[in-house]
Chain A
């Protein structure tokens, strides 16, 4: 038997999220997660955290900001061309 405790499990949470883990350790970790609600919650909410920051619907580029950007670039391009 080679059971992980919570501390060891949490230490590996980040590598597990990245899928970078040797198969043996991964198996032990998944075993622990299936039995330990605390660690499961930490893992699920960490994954959800990443998903939320990646949500493409949030933080849209305001139209006027886009306009100013394209005007500035166009101006710079024309300066260079002339």
Chain B
């Protein structure tokens, strides 16, 4: 699937934000259309279920709309939006977990060593071997095996492309903690997916 192909030259986010602040709904809607897919996917990967993902999506854009006047135009709109969305998602997870009294951070902490156990080559192009729905389930299951704080770091850094610094600020972590979590998250996801994708 391709991103919507612009017929008219694509306006910068900052231009759209200025227009939206001035009361132009079409400009705001253009911003929404630009990022709704990514925010939905972020919500889905973070929460692991479509209902929560839809809530995250709606709440993120409603809050963005409500606080648009406070948005500083020298910041990146997408980073700002991701910050709102990730906070919504983490809040949802906290609510869900409060029943079970499980803390949002896992008990292992940052230093716990991840030792790779799967050393078998993967089948080439696993994405071509599974139907889309199967692949999505496989990825979701692996992601849900991480604790939310680690999942959030992985999604922000590796999927949304935020910098270590941005991720640290957003999640209230040191940059060292972001790196340590990212390392563990990547290896743990890899380990989970290896069980499915290994040759043999």
- Chain B residue with the shortest CB-CB distance to A74: B25
Chain B interface SS verdict (over half): helix
Could you tell me the distance in whole angstroms from the C-beta of A38 to the nearest C-beta in chain B? 5
Whether, in the assembled complex, A54 has its beta carbon less than 8 Å from a beta carbon of chain B, the answer is yes
CA distance A68 to B3 in the complex (A): 21
Are A70 and B186 CB-contacts (below 8 A) given A42-B119, A61-B40? no
Are A55 and B127 interface neighbours, CB within 8 A? yes
Are B182 and A14 interface neighbours, CB within 8 A? yes
- Chain A residue with the shortest CB-CB distance to B54: A65
Are B57 and A45 interface neighbours, CB within 8 A? no
Are B121 and A49 interface neighbours, CB within 8 A? no
Could you tell me the distance in whole angstroms from the C-beta of A47 to the nearest C-beta in chain B? 9
Q: How many residues of A contact B (CB 8 A)?
A: 37
Are A41 and B62 interface neighbours, CB within 8 A? no
- Chain B residue with the shortest CB-CB distance to A75: B62
Proximity bits, B119-161, A CB within 8 Å = 1, else 0: 1111000110000100110010001000000000011001100
Proximity bits, A56-82, B CB within 8 Å = 1, else 0: 111111100110111011101100010
Could you tell me the distance in whole angstroms from the C-beta of B182 to the nearest C-beta in chain A? 6
Are A54 and B159 interface neighbours, CB within 8 A? yes
Q: Which residues of A contact B127 (CB under 8 A)?
A: 52, 55
